[in-house]
Amino acid sequence: MVVTEMVSNLDVLPTIPEAAGCPVPEEGQGRSFFALLRNEPCQTRKAIYAEKNFHRYYDPMRCIRAERFKYIRNFEADFAVEVPGDIQQGATFRSDPGSYSSKRQQLIEPYDLSTDPLEQDNLASRSEVADVQRALDQRLWSWMQETQDPLLQGPIASSRYRNVCKNA
């Protein structure tokens, strides 16, 4: 089955107990998509938010993915992109591995997924998407505030750093 509606990893938690006929936890940000799996009408998301602080190194990013556009805000963009091995297996990396060996120039990355599903054409400097970019940026900052994103307080310490400080 292919589901074209937007669902988030957060939506898996409420979906599993509903599918098993168990009570669905009320806390949490997820929404069950079990109705979609039964081919029934379902209230789906208009946007999905994502965050990354670390993969193999500190690289904080926040993202909003709407139906047509994806908007990424990079909070550290002054270094060469190191692509972890698991990411190198994906179609985006494999389509142009050389593009990942240069320095990331943009703090923001808006993409039109209808014409650029592999996110190769950063539209940050294009006036025709300025309104979309501004709206998605505002929604992203609002989400960060609503979820009390620790990045709003400054750089996030690694777990190794926190452990060293705790044991000192």
Summarised one tens digit per residue, pLDDT across range 68-110 is: 999 999 998 655 566 777 878 888 878 877 766 665 568 899 9
CATH pick for 47-152 out of 3.30.1120.10, 3.20.20.70, 1.20.1250.20, 1.10.3720.10: 3.30.1120.10
Tell me the C-alpha to C-alpha distance, in Å, between residue 157 and each of 49, 65, 154: 22, 26, 9
Summarised one tens digit per residue, pLDDT across range 32-61 is: 999 999 999 888 899 999 999 987 778 899
Note the Cα 114 to chain centre separation in Å: 17
Q: Collapsing DSSP states into helix, strand and coil, what is residue 124?
A: coil
- What does the pLDDT read at residue 67? 93
At 53, list the tokens.
Answer: 């602080």
Contacts of 59 (CB under 8 A, 6+ apart): 52, 53, 74, 76
Specify the pTM: 0.78
For the cut 60, the answer to whether the pLDDT of residue 3 exceeds it is yes
| Sequence spans of domains, the chain | 1-45, 47-152
31 within 8 A of 11, measured Cβ to Cβ: yes
